[in-house]
């Protein structure tokens, strides 16, 4: 079994390859699928995790034999910039291994400013890295209710703004969309600092998704992003939920916005 793997299902829309350094997280998102995926109870999954056993050794051995040419995303299980037990040092070491092997990397995090300590490492990748944040709510109250251990919305946007200012490619994941109006507000706030927008929806969560007019939401999203000349990808579930909205090919191809 390889440490770098090809994700399946909905995860595959985000990246052709992935790497999970930690198996746990401190962000405590209500909608998180990872505990059930890992067959763990939520109260045992949401803690400051140790790095996976021998993960750096396995990674080093693997890329020395075959360094992937396709983008590797960190990570789907856990967040490489949550409050991990090692202060995220394994994240930095993994980045160094991947950089030395010339592997393109994407990082998706809700850790906010915690990632900025590795900005020097990001710069060493040049155009072979992109750093993203999941954006869900535009206010602290809702964010604390749904993602109590994650960085605030303002901190996540501020982090993307600083990365963009430093010349690092940025992206944002708008999934899940729990309050469409708040997601639209965040999209507008991020136009100055987000290079690529990835837009999804909320799926099968306490019937909330059934009450949302996804066509209205997608029409507004497309209008804003096209007018701003931004790159964006609409995930399959949202495409299906708002099938009457006409999209161009480059707005529906998952790998269009990967780094190489």
Q: Please write the tens of the pLDDT for every residue from 134-149.
A: 999 999 999 999 999 9
C-alpha 226, offset from chain centre: 22
Q: Is residue 13 part of a domain?
A: no
Main-chain dihedrals φ then ψ at residue 205, nearest 5 degrees: -120, 105
CB 221 within 8 A of CB 185: no
pLDDT tens-place string over residues 214-243: 999 999 999 999 999 999 999 999 999 999
DSSP 56-88: HHHHHHHHHH---SS-EEE-SSS-TTSS-TTTT
Q: Is residue 9 part of a domain?
A: no
pLDDT at 233 (0 to 100):
98
Which domain CATH number covers 78? 3.20.20.70
Question: Residue-wise pLDDT tens for the chain (260 aa)?
Answer: 589 999 988 889 999 999 999 988 999 999 887 777 777 888 778 888 899 999 999 999 999 999 999 999 998 888 999 999 899 999 999 999 999 999 999 999 999 999 999 999 999 999 999 999 999 999 999 999 999 999 999 999 999 999 999 999 999 999 999 999 999 999 999 999 999 999 999 998 889 999 999 999 999 999 999 999 999 999 999 999 999 999 999 999 999 999 99
C-alpha 235, offset from chain centre: 13
Q: Is residue 2 part of a domain?
A: no
Rounded Cα distance between 15 and 8, Å, is: 10
Q: Is residue 1 part of a domain?
A: no
Q: Residue 75's domain spans which residues?
A: 18-257
Q: Is residue 12 part of a domain?
A: no
Q: Is residue 63 part of a domain?
A: yes
Helix (H) or strand (E) holding 5: strand 4-5
Q: Is residue 197 part of a domain?
A: yes
Q: How many domains does the chain have?
A: 1
Q: Is residue 7 part of a domain?
A: no
């Amino acid at each position: 079994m390889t440490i770098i793997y090809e994700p399946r299902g909905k995860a595959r829309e985000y990246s052709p390859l992935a790497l999970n350094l930690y198996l746990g997280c401190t962000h405590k998102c209500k909608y998180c699928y990872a505990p059930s995926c890992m067959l763990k109870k939520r109260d045992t999954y949401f803690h400051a995790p140790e790095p996976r056993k021998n993960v750096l050794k396995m990674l080093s051995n693997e890329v020395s034999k075959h360094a992937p040419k396709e983008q590797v995303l960190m990570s789907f299980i856990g967040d490489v910039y949550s409050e991990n037990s090692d202060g995220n040092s394994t994240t930095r070491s993994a980045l160094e291994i991947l950089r030395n092997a010339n592997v393109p990397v994407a990082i998706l995090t809700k850790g906010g400013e915690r990632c900025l300590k590795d900005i020097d490492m990001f710069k060493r990748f040049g155009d072979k890295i992109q750093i993203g944040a999941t954006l869900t709510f535009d206010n602290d109250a809702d964010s604390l209710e749904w993602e109590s251990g994650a960085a605030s919305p303002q901190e996540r946007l501020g982090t993307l703004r600083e990365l963009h200012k430093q010349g690092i490619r940025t992206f944002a994941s708008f999934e899940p969309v729990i309050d469409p109006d708040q997601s639209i507000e965040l999209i507008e706030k991020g136009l100055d600092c987000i290079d690529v927008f990835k837009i999804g929806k909320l799926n099968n969560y306490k019937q909330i998704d059934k009450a949302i007019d996804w066509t209205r939401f997608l029409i507004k999203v497309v209008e804003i992003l096209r007018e701003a000349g931004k790159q964006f990808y609409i995930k399959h579930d949202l495409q299906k939920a708002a099938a009457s909205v006409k999209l161009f090919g480059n707005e529906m191809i998952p790998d269009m916005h990967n780094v190489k």
